[in-house]
Structure 1
Amino acid sequence: MTYTNETSGLQTLIDNSQQGTQLHYDAKSFIIGGKRVFLNIASIHYFRMPRQEWREVLVKAKLAGMNCVDTYFAWNVHEPEEGKWDFSGDNDCGAFLDLCAELGLWVIARPGPFICAEWDFGGFPYWLKTKENMQFRTDNEAYLRYVYLYFDQIVPIIRSRQITQDGTVILVQVENEYGYLAGDVLGMSYMNGLRDALLERGIDVPLITCEGGAEGTIEGANFWSGADGHYEKLMRKQPDVPKLVTEFWTGWFEHWGAPAATQKTPVLYEKRMMEAIRAGFDGISHYMFFGGTNFGGYGGRTVGSSDIYMVTSYDYDAPLSEYGRITAKFRTAKKVSLFTQALGDFLLESEPMDNMARCEEGIQLQGREWNGQKLWFAESVKQEKGMFPITLESGRTLPVSIKPGQIVPILDRIEICPGLKLTSGGFLIGNDRIGEVRTVILAGDDGGRTHIIFESDQPIHYDNAGSIPHESSPDGRTLHMDVFHFQTSQRIWLKVGGQLVEVIMLNGYMSDRAWKLQGNEVRWAIGWEDLDLGAEGRISGVSGGSDCDPFLLGNWDRKGDDGRDTGDRILHGSGNDTKPLLSPNLSEWKRKTVPLLSLGSGGIAERPRGFAELALAFGYLIYSSDVECDRDQESTLIFSAIQDSARLFVNGREQAMIRQVGAASAVVRLTKGRNKLQLLVQHMGSLNFSPYLGEEKGIFGAIYMDGSAIELRRGWYCGEEVVHLDEVNPGPFASALTRTFELMENDQAILVGALNSGLRINGREVLIDGYQNWFAYHAVDISAYLVKGSNLIEMPVSQTPLNRLELLMFNRSRELRNWSSVLLEDAVNFEEGSDSIGSGPTWNRSKFDLPAISEDINPKLKLRMTGMSKGYLLLNGRNLGRYWQIGPQEDYKVPMAWLKQTGNELILFDEEGRRPDRVKLFFDEQSNRSWQPLNET
């Protein structure tokens, strides 16, 4: 392969035949070791799980048919403080790449520096915010200086593991999704500079980009739907390179207070994958295949309404759950990836063709062809499932079962081995030579029917006489069969010339439980609920159930003289015969209330200071200021710059929970004399995707008394019509809407919420650099546009309802000054002065032991936070992340790798001081399943 980069003045020539495995590409696919490869890519982040879980997760990806792993590298994990690098333990990304190589998985490395990933600050370390003249993701000199120092650390780890150096890294990505921030022309200089930095540091495998390109790189597309449009766009830009789905969104992230993101069902997941294959993509990266967990404070924040903060779980509704358990989506991914393996050569060599098949109305056909072989994608737009006749070339009519919205592949004279062609509807998930037998595996629905046509240039001998309805042509070279997909797998034997062929028909239940193991030889384990590959070659599984007859194919079976499987069955019972695990008992909670009124000052400043200003990456701050009042009164506080939720206390008692951020207000009741005003603020995550990366966290702007907050979503005018923007209004408005407000005693104002471009105040346009309407959130100081008395707002509005639109007004003379900022410490002495009576923010501690755990089970432990408010979790000194009982997350992962047999310490910090009486630990349902060996090593 020759990779030429002339635009930077560099010319890098790579001949991989001289070192490592050959890697090159053309318009159809990547070619590795001389073979075209359909890349089934599992997106897995090493930094979202303990190192001890890497093998289990990667093995599961391999068992699902994935042949490649895609991972980001998180700069802030490796350089949490400037100049202090960490590549040890859970952060040993080189060891992760080595494990991928050991398991035979190729790797796509995505070092950033920006990764998004719903990860705090998009992967940038917090301390970059403190540097002068810093502009992120641009040609900014200060920014690039630190980026190149990061590259000096991370690139050698990747470089030494490239396929050109006998490793398995096949592609390296330049930056990430830059096209969402700037177009190709605007961002080309920045992207080309990063490309050159990678080349100069020894990256010699092909470079890729996603959603935004750089010269000399291969651009991929990120999407969930609309595969045809994305493919056409890439074809227009780069017709002569492979077409990758660099992020195929298997699910979605979740954020506090929002519904569970489970809208992408397994059925839709299958359809969207089939759309991408049908369009012609030659690689699909399942983002995420395994999501993992945002331990510590690493959950990010994204654009949208003001407080979209990621939950601690990054399960993502992915094929492999946060706990490493297989899901219905896992089984779907496995089925489709096995389909791409069975038809890999065809999919990568074939071209779209004109429709030469016929079907009834409501069934749509698209086809691909190569060497006389055809593959049709039949999609139903009907309302019910049915058997629909499809007439192929030469008048061959095939009944095909299709569900509403489903895309079913139809094999049309696909050569499954030399001289034997198969025509059939449904999923071909196996076409392997096992010993001397060509083994074909077809998956269908439970109780479904599949019509099969075999054609050969020699007579076909059918060896199951009378068991399955069939019809042979007079010359014996064509065989028609109607086969049902029963719970007991049907196994059909054919002999064509000297070739023995076995056709195995699996129903949905059994095909979900079919596992292909690839090493020097192909083996299959069919009928197991779950499977695992041990480090020493040990293979173990969980039975598929009492009505499931599992069997094995390959060199672990005893064979008859003719090479056939002798039909041995291996039964392990229901898989639930292990004595149930007793959940660890959380009892004897000790409590320690935060002494708000006796906290130290921590230094005094004119205004509150943010987390980065105080050199803090995450955690809690308590802001304090004294307010003198000459009478009892109620006042509206205006927070001009606040980026996290906050609890407001007056004289040690909570008065408000502030959820709205950017700028916000809160009503406070003060008494005559001195009042101690305090704010408890948790760092909830920095923006991981936005043109405004690098925002300060916590409270960092002036706070004013005696302000006012006006709700602006109601009472607008469109001509004479009154419009309320918190209601659904069909269609865009024909013109800008108008509204007035009065500015009297106050002289400053902030407009915050879902603004729209084209905003005008008193006839002057308010410029908002970088803002796009779909962000649906911004805070803008409009003081310079105002006049005393009546003011007119004009704003185009294209979509309603708006979640927030608020006007905050204040007078500069009423600023509260002299603020202290104190870090809430994790270290708490529970042994002295324990307080079980006080109220307010409280630490709670319990200790627990693990029960005896049998070696033949694989337990996963959860923590359910019933009855608590908001806070964070510590396990044996490790931060498990934030919790907030406003949904959608209810349970929190407790990694088994971080536990001891006895004396585990769990600490819960709760902002409201709620008692953890209903908090419990429990093992998940699969923890009691018995794993039994399938082979002996």
Structure 2
Amino acid sequence: MNIKTLGLAACALLSGAALFPTLAHANDGIFPSATKAKQAIDFDGRGFLINGKRTFIASAGMEYARVPRALWRDRLLRFKRAGMNCVEVYNFWDFHEPQEGKFNFSGDADLDAFFKLVHSLGMYAIARVGPYYCAEWDNGGYPVWLRNKPGVRVREDSPEFEKYVDRYFDKLIPIVAANQINRGGCVVLVQLENEHPQGWGTEMPNAYFRHLQSKALALGLEVPYFFSGLHHGSDPAGDVGHSWDSVGRTNPWMTTEFWSIWYDRYGQSLDAANEYDRRTMKILAYGGNGYNYYMMHGGTNFAYWNNDEDAASYDYGAAVGQGGDLRSIYYRNKRAAWFARSFQSILEDSTNADADFSAAASDPAVKVTARRSPAGTLVFLDNPGKSPVQTSVGGPNGSAEMGIGSVTLEPGEIAGFVRDYQIAPGVTITRTSSRIMGIFDQDGVTTMVIHGEPGSMGQVLMKTNSQAAIAAGASDFKSSGNTLTLDAKFPQSGVDEYTFAAGATHVRILAVGTARADRTWFVEAGGKNYIVSGPEYISDAAIQNGRLRLTYEKPWIPIPEAEPSLETVIYSSGDAPQRFPANDYQAKRKTTLEVSQWETKSGSDEAAVNYDDHGWLASAAPSQMGADNDITADAWYRSAIPVPKTGDYTIKIDSAQDRWLPFVDGAPAGPKFVHGNSVNVHLTAGTHAFAAFTAHDGRQKMPGYVGLIESSAPKGLFGAASLTQQAGEDIALTPWRVLKSDDHTAPPASDAAGWSAYAIGQDPFGGQSGFVWLQTTLPDTAPNLKSHSVLFPTVDDNATVFLNGQKLTTHEGWNEQFNVSLDSAWRAGGPNILSVLVENTAGAGGMSAAPSLSSVIFSQPITGWKLRGGPGDPFDAKGWTAFQKAEANGPRFYRAKISAPGGVAPGQVWRVLTHGLSHGSVWVNGQNLGRYPEKIPIEGMYIPPVWLKPGDNSLVIYDESGNAPDQVEVQVEAAASRDLLTIEAKG
């Protein structure tokens, strides 16, 4: 596979976390707010200001298009509970305009409702409006209909392209604008375009960028915005390798795509949780002002929205799983986010203080960084090694008298320690050796949660403006004048409470073990703030009849580092804490749902000789899938083939992707599925009815692609079609020679100086952009051959093909096959010199597979084509019969009932296991679950619980090979499921 280094992020073509590339760009600028928005959202070189307050942006990526609307609140609340104050979303163009001119901003596509929900939860939003998105989404977010607009060139100053973009922006941008923070909404940042090969940040290299800017501004964009992205990468601060200063910067340092895990992953990974915790803490330690996890919840590619690298699941191995379950990384994210937000007045207004604290750690293996601001100082200690390290926490310039205690740093851990920071009026932390989870305002009581390994010590030194009156934990406090020292020993499982008053200020410190810190939550209910410690997650908190009602989750299978069930302790602003014993209750659990009453009907009627194709899209040559505005992954083609005499023939199409099933006179012809652009058939003299069923597994996301969209990675049958008789086997073309030349108009002579040998698979560009000539001499062929063509399996990126100096064609787009007829320039008797000008835009380039020469003795075009996209109506009541297992000759529909007496519990995660099936789609109660088989390590297709109802549920399957469904099951995914329990306490 050729690896492109631009257009990656969620667009990376590498598979595996260890191979994550970095998508860095020199320009990380942000355009400032309009004057009228500056009071609500502004920034400087030190950080962001929201409503005049220094604000750290801890953002979580989620696409509303990948989550049913009924689950939006659930997923967003999981973000909020983890300390996230922002959500980042793509506004996929094709999701909102699937058919040309037919816009959808309702139901699951109601963007305005989504933004208002975000706002109601007290969160912000980053809108990524496109028009290109990537995101492992079909066609990169471009509508399929756009591919069938001749001459449309994407991502460049193309009036035809910009016309359609403008029409979409006319619908989209006013919704985004109306929800900007300065207009009472949640949107604080906007990204125009995405991962363009040229313009990032505030860089606008051509008129295309200026057009997007002027259009968005004219439609009301007022909050800060930028192009393409900011600091995308799997370790965005670590790739810099050192901390940086705010001096000289004009805008904050922000990573808008911090790739957490990867799109080929599923489920739990404790190692990844530790690694990404370290990478998050680097952002804080090195001076970052915000980050966005891509993804924090991946969700699902319902219907046909997946690209060619994914199927239905877009789990991403993310903090919040596809079914809403929480992984180890979720709790690491939670610790970092609450820490960053608790000390945002430092992180958003600081300069580099590394030099002053370089000797603050007694162990020289510990790396020290520091951030100093008018609000205080944060000192970060970094243990990059693979063994625990014990070290002191010293003061500036290594002064021991200004230091405090010692800490043990776990392998790879980065921990932050605060100095000279006012946590409440009249109370300042002067220094600490304790890790702080967060500081929370509880209606006049300032509560600070500190944590460490059970049995270890944590020290906090505070200065108060008046004598402190200690109310709880007096034995662990030392008081000297206005200095107060807490020496806390972290408990094995419970919560130790320390409280004091200094004048009118009330402070509570809760000391917990680190595992319990993960299960300590800040929740709001009835206008009051509560600290709740103990449950794995709190899904709801409400005041009912004057009582606090908490709904919490208990996973069926705890995360690897989880402690046993813990006592729940609830703290409000007043009164003593409320305690509730650990609850080991297990709800009654179902693990399977009965699937019965299977029925079936043919999905291949379209192949019949006399099938009525009136109303199908007609064209001289096959049109690519989607030309009839169908957006599914399936299509039928029909034509009539006159055959002059009985014999063996080849039906050849210029382009055929991904696979197709040919029928002649209603019967399957050739192999069950064809992967390639030709099929061999035996035909008798006369006219035959030809039909082809075609299917694909998602279109490319087109990373880094600029140019003509029509010819880039078409699906189905596309281009000229012919009936031929081959002259033997195709000939692989070798050897090749390579030459770099500044002349890109005509190929160099074969005897010109500078040619050198080229091996297929070699990168002649050395990873750089540019042009090279590749050339070969074609083998001699028999003089009676009628036609010659060359099939190029792939050229990276763009190719202009010449024969004997005559230009034949230009093909734009990489890693896709294309066929070139040589007849217009062929010399009978030779020599025939084939030259290819290869343009590489980024990364590696060249040919990764050898082209092949095809010659024929007979050829006639196949014309008069009809196209109809889609598998047909899966809910049509006609034609169903009782299922009997038999060998299928093409696609088939199957339907059955899923019995769920009494319904299913909301915390249970159900999957349709597609055992024994081939490729296809699944519907439950009319909702399309997406494409199977999955391409990541998860068994079965996720059913959102809101799509299941008590009693009988309908299940419909469209299998493209017609494989029998007798092994299909509906089972619970235990690892993702959880019970929902309740606690009632005093309000």
Amino acid at match of 1:155: I
Q: 1:885 to 1:199 in 2, by over 3 A?
A: closer
Q: Classify the secondary structure of the residue corresponding to 2:566.
A: coil
Mapped to 1, the partners of 2:674 and 2:288 lie a distance apart of 44
Amino acid at match of 2:599: K
Amino acid at match of 1:553: Y
Mapped to 2, the partners of 1:843 and 1:795 lie a distance apart of 47
* Higher relative contact order, structure no. (Cα contacts within 8 Å, ≥ 6 residues apart): 2
Mapped to 2, the partners of 1:510 and 1:528 lie a distance apart of 9
Q: 1:727 to 1:33 in 2, by over 3 A?
A: closer
Mapped to 2, the partners of 1:795 and 1:261 lie a distance apart of 47
Mapped to 1, the partners of 2:780 and 2:662 lie a distance apart of 27
1:821 to 867, 886, 897: 867
1:96 to 114, 117, 132: 114
1:625-677 deviations in Å (ceiling 9; x for gaps): 547485664x66654223433334566336446686xxx44553536567765
Mapped to 1, the partners of 2:302 and 2:516 lie a distance apart of 37
TM alignment of 1:454-469, pairs within 5 A? 454-456=461-463
**Is 2:447 the partner of 1:439?**
yes
Q: Is the 8 A contact 1:25 1:31 kept in 2?
A: yes
Q: Is the 8 A contact 2:268 2:317 kept in 1?
A: yes
Q: Is the 8 A contact 2:34 2:223 kept in 1?
A: no
1:875 to 899, 911, 924: 924
Mapped to 2, the partners of 1:542 and 1:263 lie a distance apart of 20
1:251-285 deviations in Å (ceiling 9; x for gaps): 3334xxx9999899212221221122223221212
**Is 2:788 the partner of 1:747?**
yes
Matching residue of 1:336: 336
Amino acid at match of 2:377: K
Matching residue of 1:7: none
Q: Is the 8 A contact 1:459 1:476 kept in 2?
A: yes
Q: Is the 8 A contact 1:645 1:657 kept in 2?
A: no
1:889-915 deviations in Å (ceiling 9; x for gaps): 532122233334334221111122211
Q: Is the 8 A contact 1:123 1:688 kept in 2?
A: yes
Q: Is the 8 A contact 1:525 1:550 kept in 2?
A: yes
Q: Classify the secondary structure of the residue corresponding to 2:70.
A: helix
Mapped to 2, the partners of 1:122 and 1:531 lie a distance apart of 36
Q: Is the 8 A contact 2:319 2:329 kept in 1?
A: yes
Amino acid at match of 2:358: A
Matching residue of 2:592: 583
Q: Classify the secondary structure of the residue corresponding to 1:156.
A: helix
**Is 2:276 the partner of 1:276?**
no
TM alignment of 1:202-221, pairs within 5 A? 202-211=220-229, 220-221=230-231
TM alignment of 1:553-568, pairs within 5 A? 553-555=571-573, 559=575, 566-568=576-578
Q: 1:835 to 1:587 in 2, by over 3 A?
A: closer
Mapped to 1, the partners of 2:255 and 2:170 lie a distance apart of 29
Matching residue of 2:379: 376
Amino acid at match of 1:540: T
Mapped to 1, the partners of 2:184 and 2:443 lie a distance apart of 30
Mapped to 1, the partners of 2:793 and 2:199 lie a distance apart of 22
1:59-87 deviations in Å (ceiling 9; x for gaps): 11111111122222233233322332322
Q: Classify the secondary structure of the residue corresponding to 1:528.
A: coil
Amino acid at match of 1:357: S
**Is 2:557 the partner of 1:540?**
no
Mapped to 1, the partners of 2:494 and 2:831 lie a distance apart of 82
Q: State the TM-score, normalizing by the size of structure 2.
A: 0.79
Matching residue of 1:612: 626
The alignment's C-alpha RMSD in Å is: 4.5
Amino acid at match of 1:542: E
Amino acid at match of 1:911: E
Q: Is the 8 A contact 2:592 2:971 kept in 1?
A: yes
TM alignment of 1:513-552, pairs within 5 A? 513-518=519-524, 521-533=528-540, 539-542=550-553, 547-552=565-570
Matching residue of 2:750: none
Amino acid at match of 1:382: G
1:898 to 947, 959, 963: 947
**Is 2:673 the partner of 1:652?**
no
**Is 2:510 the partner of 1:504?**
yes
- Paired-residue identity, %: 22
**Is 2:307 the partner of 1:293?**
no
Mapped to 1, the partners of 2:409 and 2:732 lie a distance apart of 52
Q: 1:230 to 1:73 in 2, by over 3 A?
A: farther
Q: 1:706 to 1:94 in 2, by over 3 A?
A: same
Mapped to 1, the partners of 2:98 and 2:755 lie a distance apart of 57
1:242 to 233, 252, 271: 252
1:771-820 deviations in Å (ceiling 9; x for gaps): 79xx6556474848987467678999997998644435355953551444
Amino acid at match of 1:195: Q
The worse-fitting range, judged by mean Cα deviation, of 351-360 and 496-505 is: 496-505
Q: Is the 8 A contact 2:571 2:578 kept in 1?
A: no
Mapped to 2, the partners of 1:822 and 1:438 lie a distance apart of 65
The worse-fitting range, judged by mean Cα deviation, of 713-722 and 319-328 is: 713-722
Mapped to 1, the partners of 2:653 and 2:510 lie a distance apart of 68
Q: Classify the secondary structure of the residue corresponding to 2:339.
A: helix
Matching residue of 1:225: 235
Matching residue of 2:743: none
2:682 to 653, 665, 670: 670
Q: Is the 8 A contact 1:623 1:821 kept in 2?
A: yes
Matching residue of 1:357: 358
Q: Classify the secondary structure of the residue corresponding to 2:256.
A: strand
Q: Is the 8 A contact 2:32 2:223 kept in 1?
A: no
Amino acid at match of 1:742: P
1:14 to 35, 38, 50: 35
TM alignment of 1:829-908, pairs within 5 A? 829=877, 832=880, 836=884, 837-840=886-889, 841-853=891-903, 857-884=906-933, 888-908=937-957
Q: Is the 8 A contact 2:473 2:499 kept in 1?
A: no
Shift of 1:130: 2.9
TM alignment of 1:714-729, pairs within 5 A? none
Amino acid at match of 2:867: S
Shift of 1:929: 0.8
Amino acid at match of 2:593: P
1:65 to 83, 88, 98: 83
Mapped to 1, the partners of 2:125 and 2:651 lie a distance apart of 53
Mapped to 1, the partners of 2:984 and 2:52 lie a distance apart of 34
State the number of aligned residues. Answer: 886
Amino acid at match of 1:366: T
Q: 1:665 to 1:122 in 2, by over 3 A?
A: closer
Q: Is the 8 A contact 2:58 2:85 kept in 1?
A: yes
Matching residue of 2:655: 641
Shift of 1:340: 0.8
Q: Is the 8 A contact 2:904 2:950 kept in 1?
A: no
Q: 1:229 to 1:927 in 2, by over 3 A?
A: closer
Q: Is the 8 A contact 1:460 1:479 kept in 2?
A: no
The worse-fitting range, judged by mean Cα deviation, of 233-242 and 290-299 is: 233-242
Unaligned stretches of 5+ residues in structure 2: 1-30, 556-562, 740-753
Q: Classify the secondary structure of the residue corresponding to 1:859.
A: coil
Q: Classify the secondary structure of the residue corresponding to 1:322.
A: coil
Shift of 1:112: 2.4
Amino acid at match of 1:364: K
Mapped to 2, the partners of 1:736 and 1:700 lie a distance apart of 28
Q: Is the 8 A contact 1:759 1:765 kept in 2?
A: no
Amino acid at match of 1:809: S
The worse-fitting range, judged by mean Cα deviation, of 545-554 and 799-808 is: 799-808
The worse-fitting range, judged by mean Cα deviation, of 869-878 and 800-809 is: 800-809
Q: 1:736 to 1:210 in 2, by over 3 A?
A: closer
Q: Is the 8 A contact 1:378 1:408 kept in 2?
A: yes
Matching residue of 1:449: 456
Q: State the TM-score, normalizing by the size of structure 1.
A: 0.82
Q: Classify the secondary structure of the residue corresponding to 1:753.
A: coil
